[in-house]
Structure formats: C-alpha cells, structure tokens
Amino acid sequence: MDHLPIFINIRKKPCIVIGGGDIALRKINLLLKAQAKVDCISPLFCKDIKNLSMDGHITLINKSFEQADIKDYSIIIAATDDKSVNSLISSIAQDKKIPVNVVDSPELSSFIMPSIVDRSPLIIAVSSSGKAPVLARIIRAKLETIIPSAYGILADIAGEYRQKVKDRFSTIKDRRAFWEAVFSGVIAEKVFSGRINEAKEDIQRQLDDSVEMDLGEVYLVGAGPGDPDLLTFKALRLIQQADVVLYDRLVSKGVMELVRRDSELIYVGKKGGSDKSTKQVDINDQLVELAKTGKRVCRLKGGDPFIFGRGGEEIESLSEHGIPFQVVPGITAASGCSSYAGIPLTHRDYSQSCRFVTAHLKNGTTNLPWEEFIIDQQTIVFYMALSGAKYICEKLMEHGMDKDMPIAIIEKGTMPEQKVYISSLIELPALLEREDIHAPTLMIVGEVVKLNEKLNWYGN
C-alpha cells in the first residue's frame, strides 16, 4: 500500500484551510461534516465561504499566509493556487509533525483526502493515492448505488445492541453468525424500509428466545419497461439478495441478468387467452408458501407493480396470511416507452392531461368509458392493446374522435430492439396488417405523438 487508510477523530478540534476559493470550500465542508473547528486564511474569500463565516460555522482570517499562522492544528489543508506557498505550508507542517494535505499535490501531502461514501456512522473511503482521483470518484459513485442510506441507521442499531450480543454469545464465531444474519436478512430490510422499531423487536426476540426465527419476506419489485439501467437502486439491491425470484414475461433479459446467480428462478408468466398462463391465484399461493419457509422472495414484475401489474391482488393475499412485504415502484411502460420514443405524455401546446388504460379487464372483456376519451388536449395510453388495437380505433372514431388523430405503437420500448410506428386512427389497422409487430407493445393516442418526428432520440 502507498498509504495506510485511517480515520481521524477531529470533532471539536482546530483545523485550518489556507485558501479562499471553491476548492477550499469543498475541503471546509468536509471538515465541518466531521464537526471540526475550522479557521480559513486567505486575502480573498468566495461568497459561500463568507456565508459560512456569517453563520458562525468557521473563522475567517483575512490576510496572506505567513509561517506564524501554523499553530497547534490537528489538520492543515493547503488549497491556494500558489505552488510556492503550498510547498512552504507542507514543509512547515511536516516539520511540526502536523498532518497536511496539499490539494492536487500528493508528493507534498502527508495524507490523502479520499472520495467518501457517507452513511454515518458507517463511512467508506476510496483513494487512488492521489494518482487517479477521478477514478476514485467513479468507484465511489458505484458504491453509492448499492449501499442504502439507511445502513447508517443499521450501524447505530448494531452499536446499541453490541454489548447485549456479547453477553448472549460467548464466542466470536457465534456473535459473527448472529450479526451476519441480522445484516443480510429481513431485520436489515425492515430498517431500510423505515420499520426501525420492528427491527429492534426482532433483534431482542432473537436474543431472548435463543431460537431461530422464521423471517421470510416478499419483495414486490417493479422491473421497469426493459432497459436494466432504469431499475431503481432499491430494486437492484433486493433482486440481488433474494433467495427465490418469481418473474413474468415482461421482465427483460437484461434485468434477469442482474438476478443473483444462485437464486431459484420461477417463471409465472401470464398471457391473455392462453391456457399455459399461470393463474393469479396460484402466484399468490406460491408467494405465501415460499415466504412461510423463511425465504426472501422477489416477485419481479415488468413496469410498475401497481399499474396494471396485479400487485395489489398479490399483497392482499400476503397481508391476509401475515407475510411481511415491501413494494418497490418501477418505471411504468407509459413513462419509459414514451420517453424513449420522444413522445412527451403532456405538453403545454398539445396535452394537459393523460390517462392510462388497460385494454383487458379481469373478466376478459374491453368495457371502457369511450365518451370520456373524446376530450381535447388529452393523451391516452393503452396497455396490452395490440390484439384489440383495431377495435379501439373503431370505438374512438365511433364516439367522435378525429379519424386523423395521431397514434403510436411502441414495440419493445426502451430496449435495443425498440421500434416506433406512427400512424392515425383511420390508418392504424392497415399498418398492423402490413407490419409484423409483437408484444410487448404500448399504444399512445393524442396530438403529442406529432412530437416524435422532432424529439425521437433513441434507436431509430
């Protein structure tokens, strides 16, 4: 190692930053987060540094740096644009055995300022020893995406119960096994979802009962419209820690590639009118039974679970059986596909409202309030409409919609194979006859479709 990574306690200790610009400001903010007492020396100060002084957070010393300015500080940071001054500060500090950092000059520094992932009291520092700070920041950004902010709360809870766990388990091996179960199981998920008191009660029960607890849970996760980059951080974390994943046909291959390799995969796809479809009641039962065995179960659904995803039906069943669950929203197809097709769902010149409509009801019929659709400056998004597209066009025109109203069919939206077909109500049936279009598709009706020609940015 070029440097030994350490963490220094500078709470309420005097530190000094020499320099008054934006770089100095960033260093001052880091010191303040660590609760240091900060002096700042410079003949000139940027506006934000002055504001920190006015708020009483730091002390400004309005002068050029002199050797006598270095006193008994815990840390010195040189952030001037004068190389000779920075070199002098480094020399004096090291003679006095005071840790010093000279910005962008690792050769003059006795310590390096790392890129930081702050989940206090959990802190992760990433450093390239000053050789590639941009790379360190990129790695930090990757860590930010997979480490929930609530890990700090989890660390605080661990500190609260640390002595009790020591008293309960006599060996390091047993204590380690206990905490591994807490940090990687349902207790941690309760913390992440804000159920702090429940998590503490579960920890106490495990300490009191001295028996294994059956802590299965279900994660109802929205996988988005297809592009795996559209997953939320929370969705990615949960699908990578699930023991079992139940997925449907609308979950893209790219998303499935992110599932933990040793997870059990169960396909529960549904297709309208198909005898091979998995019945919803059977899916509900599977979720309950798997959770009762203590497994972490992810129900992975295309789009958003609560927008035509039957997520409500599934958690009703879980609730009835007392199964703990979480719901993770996903980007619904209407939002994702329209964005990737360059079709804003609302626009001041074309549409002031938007309706999401499913073309299939629970009983297999299409019984829709057609009169409500014939409104100026409204966008209508039809889910699962490919097989009934001709009928939809006929009913809209029958109830008074202009036959030339623009309409878009988006096939495999947000994915590399995406295709966008632009037509009108009167012409769409003929287009469907000519083109070989397959689900998943989304249909958008409204004047906003005209913007596709100008705003189309993805794929074609």
Residues annotated within the binding site for S-adenosyl-L-methionine are 225, 302-304, 307, 332-333, 384, 413
CA angle (399, 404, 405) in 5-degree steps: 70
Strand residue runs (E) in 261-358 = 264-267, 296-301, 325-328, 353-358
Binding-site residue set for NAD(+)? 22-23, 43-44
What's the half-sphere exposure (Cβ side, CA atoms, 13 Å) at 141?
6
Collapsing DSSP to helix, strand or coil, 111 comes out as coil
Between CA 283 and CA 89 the distance in angstroms is: 68
User: What is the set of active-site residues?
Assistant: 248, 270
Between CA 374 and CA 348 the distance in angstroms is: 18
Binding-site residue set? 22-23, 43-44, 225, 302-304, 307, 332-333, 384, 413
Alpha carbon separation from 92 to 68, 96, 106 (Å, rounded): 10, 6, 16
369 is written with which tokens?
A: 């309030």
For strands 441-445 and 406-411, give the pairing. antiparallel
For strands 406-411 and 419-424, give the pairing. antiparallel
Strand residue runs (E) in 264-360 = 264-267, 296-301, 325-328, 353-358
Residue pair 119/151 in contact by the 8 Å Cβ criterion: yes
CA angle (56, 60, 62) in 5-degree steps: 150
The 8-class DSSP code of residue 219 comes to E
